[in-house]
Structure formats: structure tokens, C-alpha cells
Amino acid sequence: MLNLDLSGRPALVCGASQGIGAATARTLADCGATVTLLSRNQQRLEELCTKLPGSGHDFLALDLGSPDDLAEALPRIAEGGYHILVHNSGGPPAGRAIDADPAEFEAGFHQHLIAGQRLAQALVPGMRKAAYGRIVNIISTSVKEPIPGLGVSNTVRGAVAAWAKTLSRELGPDGITVNNVLPGFTQTPRLDGLVAGKADKQNASEGEVRAAMLAQVPIGRFCKPEETAAAIAFLCSPLASYITGINLPVDGGRLGSL
């Protein structure tokens, strides 16, 4: 029997108020995990928390881009003794790298790389004790093929991928796996925002922008957040015990590289 059972496993799911993070929280709860939802919007988290299947779920309103807020929350996060960390939040604003203010890079590194490092440092001791740890970073296909017009994102995601690969080699002996999921075009508010921005810039309709994007996807449709969540849940499960240090695209075949 395939073992996707996460009963009794505490899981911290970041960026959980909508999109891929919210779908992941639901899927992990379906698999039996006790989930803590994290993002900035407390009201939304509270609503989602009551709708999760199972019991014992919780939420934490926190801005991962604020080093001070994160430092203050870390003791509570460490106490959670999470066996699973889904490291996820919103993507940096679009724009060309050459046009970005250096402060945009700094903000991106704080929200993605440094927040991940602080969360991992807080949680790895508990994972070691449990002899079970799963860290899954939600980043982007841009770590394999940088995406035009996402200069800061491309740069920061690459750093997160290199960090995760390094961690996977350091933490393997402790039974802790570290993997990255690379979403393709996924039907979430993030995608809606990118489509609207492109339509504006290209003086095209949103329908035309969507059609051009879909033309790049062999499967011929956008991904449902639940489909990305299924891949994440697999990596969090006992089934994926020998998989670490990988980049798993969930992109309908869009990436052209091997």
C-alpha cells in the first residue's frame, strides 16, 4: 500500500492564505497532518483554518519579509516542533533586472532566502529529534530557465535553489529531505496579477496574453493549485524518503530543458 499518511505530523505551511499554499494546507490536512497556516492576512487564515479537514490546526499571521517580525515569532515557531516545512510566499514584483532598485533585491532575499534559513534553523533540531524532516521550497521554473521580465525573482529563486541543494547534502544523514517544487503557470491570484500586468504592458487583452502563455504548455491548460499541492504532499510523505536535493517542475511540460 502506498504510504501518504501524515497522521500526527505537524506541518508549517507558509504563504497559506491563497493559491498554492492554501491548496497545500488542505492536501496535507487531508493526508492527516496537523497544519499551521502562515501568511500576513490573519482574517483569511482564520477562515481557512476552520475549513481544514481534521482537527488541531492553527494559524500564524506573519510577514516573512520583515526580519524583526520573523525574529520575534521564531521561538513560537520552534516550539511547534514541525516535521514538515513548506517554505512559500509571494513572488517578487515583475520587471527587468537592470531596472530594479537594489533595495528590491534586498527585499527579495529577506523574504525568500533569509526567511527560509531562519525557519530551517528553528525547525531542524525538532526534525532531527523526530528522525523525520521534510523541507519543500516553492520556487519557480526560472531556476532552470530564467523568465524574461522577472529579473529580481529569477535571481532570488536561483539563490534559494542553491541553498536548498546545499542543505539537502548537509541534512541527509539526519533523515531530513530538502526539495524544491517549481510551479509552471498555475491558476492563482499571482497568475492573474502577472497576466493583467503583461496585458497592460503589451497593449493586449488578458485573453490574448493567456492564449500566448498556453501555447507554451504541452498539456494545454493552466495548472490547478491542487495539482501542485499533490506533488508537494508526495515530497512531504514517507513515500519520498529517498528523494532529496531535487527541483521538481510541475509545469505541464513547459520547460524545454532536461
Kind and range of the H or E element at 185?
none
Q: Under the criterion CB under 6 A, does residue 116 sit at the interface with ligand NAP?
A: no
Give me the least distance between CB of 193 and ligand NAP, in Å please: 7
Nearest distance in Å: CB 189, ligand NAP? 4
* Residue in 89, 154, 155, 180 binding ligand NAP, rule: CB under 6 A: 89
* Minimum CB distance to ligand NAP smaller for 113 or for 132: 113
The Cα 84–Cα 123 span in angstroms is 9
In this complex, which beta carbon is closest to ligand NAP, that of residue 10 or of residue 108?
108
Per-residue CA distances from 241 to 4, 56, 179, 207 (Å): 11, 26, 11, 42
Q: Which of 92, 119, 94 is nearest to 105 (CA)?
A: 92
- DSSP, collapsed to helix, strand or coil, labels residue 21 as helix
Strands of 132-186, DSSP E: 133-138, 176-183
90 binds ligand NAP (CB under 6 A): yes
Whether residue 25 contacts residue 228, with contact meaning beta carbons closer than 8 Å, is answered with no
Residues 186, 237, 244, 247: which binds ligand NAP (CB under 6 A)?
Answer: 186
Site string for ligand NAP, 119-158 (x = CB under 6 A): -------------------x-x------------------
Residue 73 or 132 with smaller CB distance to ligand NAP: 73
The beta-strand segments (E) located in the chain are 10-14, 34-39, 58-61, 84-87, 133-138, 176-183, 247-250
Q: Is 108 in the site for ligand NAP (CB under 6 A)?
A: no
What are the residues binding ligand NAP (CB under 6 A)? 15-21, 39-41, 44, 63-65, 88-91, 111, 138, 140, 183, 185-186, 188-191
